[in-house]
Amino acid sequence: MKILLTGGAGYIGSHVAAALVSAGHEVVCFDNLSNSDAAVMDRLEAITGTVIPLVQGDIRDGDALRAALNDHAAGAVIHFAGLKAVGESVAEPMKYYDNNVRGTLTLLEAMRDCGVKTLVFSSSATVYGEPRYLPLDEEHPTSATNPYGRTKLMIEEMLADVAAADGDWRIATLRYFNPVGAHDSGLIGENPNGVPNNLMPFISRVAAGRLNELSVFGNDYDTPDGTGVRDYIHVVDLADGHVAALEAITKNDQPLSTWNLGTGQGYSVLDMVEAFERVNGVRVPYRIAPRRDGDVASCFASPERAARELGWTAERGLDTMCASSWRFERMLATRNAD
């Protein structure tokens, strides 16, 4: 079965493409390259030994989607395409509703028209809002604190309605915790435009001397060292979770399934700095800064449902996450020097 990956040239999509090919699946990427580079496809070819086609198109273009689904005889879709910067979503909410919500509706219509009803969707732990208890299981109430989070919630609700109306659909909603790290090859990884919003790419750039110091957003949270605690998951483990989820929904008889993809282990900001310095033999200067609006003290998953129902658990630890992020950062430096 060929699988169409919307947003397949992006950070998570490219790792999932590699994992799917190594699990024996055929893949086609559909991406408008608004936050990625077509050169990723050459790197994927180097990793997988396979040419993965890229269709350059926008998920808000139903005709382009229908053509891609038909031309490539796709039997399933994994839907990564979306905008994901929380701050930008507050400043430009319409851009987020248009791209993420309208884009997903257009994708669902195109899939229905082409008779493709197997879908894996990239959701986020952001849909749990402020945690009422920890670890977060899939039954935890959902809410959103910003437009980005609201687009994920709206899409989840849309998917539930579609699955309830037509039992032929097989939909998996995957709620990612904090994906970090890069492929073992160092060829693909996370390379955000501008100053990174997220912790791990910021740490890498400070270590590389591309940024002066890390601002640690608050050290007065109710956590062991006062800094925010998160569930960091290696992107290669996350990718394997997609393969397991796709294979599960094609076999089971439930139209809609929801799984957390996390490790169940929380690390603080200072844990991350310490591990990155120790594993890579580098320095990451930091200073304590005020709390960032919208941040919670702690957020980590119960990964039990995915373990029980998918037979999937994250295997890579913090040291591997830090080493692979640094390997990718070094690779970028080499590329930029060429």
Where on the chain is the footprint of ligand UD1 (CB under 6 A)? 84, 86, 124, 126, 148-149, 178, 197-199, 202, 214-217, 228, 230, 269, 292, 294-295
Residue 240 interacts with ligand NAD (CB under 6 A): yes or no? no
Q: Which does 10 bind (CB under 5 to 8 A by kind): ligand UD1, ligand NAD, none?
A: ligand NAD
User: What does the block give as tokens for 251?
Assistant: 């076999």
Examine the residue annotation and report whether 286 is marked as an active-site residue of this protein.
no
Q: How far is the CB of 164 from ligand NAD (least distance, A)?
A: 23
Nearer to ligand NAD, 114 or 180 (CB): 180
Residue 64 interacts with ligand NAD (CB under 6 A): yes or no? no
Query: Please, are residues 105 and 30 in contact by the beta-carbon 8 Å criterion?
Result: no
Q: How far is the CB of 98 from ligand NAD (least distance, A)?
A: 9
For 42, 49, 267, 319, the CA distances from 298, given in Å and listed in that order, are 39, 41, 9, 21
Length of the chain, please?
Answer: 338
Q: Where are the beta strands (DSSP E) in the chain?
A: 2-6, 26-31, 54-56, 74-79, 118-124, 170-176, 178-180, 214-217, 229-230, 232-234, 256-261, 267-268, 286-289, 298-299
Q: Where are the beta strands (DSSP E) in 132-219?
A: 170-176, 178-180, 214-217
Nearer to ligand NAD, 83 or 248 (CB): 83
Residue 56 interacts with ligand NAD (CB under 6 A): yes or no? no
Q: Which does 202 bind (CB under 5 to 8 A by kind): ligand UD1, ligand NAD, none?
A: ligand UD1
**Could you give the residue numbers annotated as active site?**
148
* Interaction site with ligand NAD (CB under 6 A): 6-7, 9-13, 31-36, 58-60, 80-84, 99, 103, 122, 124, 176, 179
